[in-house]
Amino acid sequence: MKKFILLSILSSTTIFLACSPENTDDEQENFNTDPVSLNIGLEENCAETETYCAMSDTCGEEFLNLIDFQYNDSELEFTMYFNSQIENNFSLETLRNNFEYLNFVIRFPEQKTDSMSYAYVHKLPIRELNTPSEEGFTLSFDNYEDGVITGSLIGDISEMTKVKQSDDPNCIMDDIMGICTEEISVEKAVAIDFKFCLDR
């Protein structure tokens, strides 16, 4: 999990090249409290997902009996893992019954500068549907039809990671020079509605 968090934070620092000015105090306060509302795939037939670990040794032995579906854009990285028993047997019931866990990262591209970015990286996988996780997020699968799953993820963020790139020799994260992180307090409601393609 530590490796996943590290890679997710790093990706949030490198995806965007455009620069923006530093926030004023008012803008920073708004950023700390503005809700996160994402609609993924709802205006399309569905948002495409990719499979990386399923039925291979690409990600290690612990993934051999899992099927993963990952969605990734500038604001969200969202990876769902299912027991491989769903292979060739997709339905709302089997997806619900064979759900294993969810990892996700929320990024904030509008706050990205040439040396700073923000990301929320959940610390513990979400392992149950329709039940608040230890970090207060609830994941639901609402419908599945013709290879498309719809659902939602709702919760609240109380802190996020501020990532800074610097030439300061004291700026180091694990063994990576030039990157510092800081946890900042926020109060953000999160609502993510999704419609993902699960065709295999």
- Residue 130 counted as domain residue: yes
Burial of residue 23 (CB within 10 Å: 0-12, 13-18, 19+) is: middle
Rounded distance between C-alpha atoms, residue 70 and residue 81, angstroms: 9
- Residue 122 counted as domain residue: yes
How high is the pLDDT of residue 14?
42
Provide mean pLDDT across the span 103-115. 89
- Residue 60 counted as domain residue: yes
- Residue 183 counted as domain residue: no
pTM here is: 0.80
Has residue 1 got a pLDDT over 80? no
Among 25-29, 63-67, 114-118, 146-150, the range with the most confident prediction by mean pLDDT is: 146-150
% of residues, the chain, pLDDT over 70? 78
How high is the pLDDT of residue 53?
67
- Residue 115 counted as domain residue: yes
The number of folded domains in the chain is 1
Instruction: Work out whether the CA dihedral 120, 121, 124, 125 comes out positive or negative.
Output: positive
- Residue 96 counted as domain residue: yes
* Higher-confidence position of 22 and 19: 22
* Higher-confidence position of 60 and 165: 165
Q: Which domain holds residue 6?
A: 2-156+189-197
Q: List Cα–Cα distances, 18 to 14, 74, 110, 116, 117, in angstroms.
A: 10, 13, 10, 11, 12
- Residue 163 counted as domain residue: no
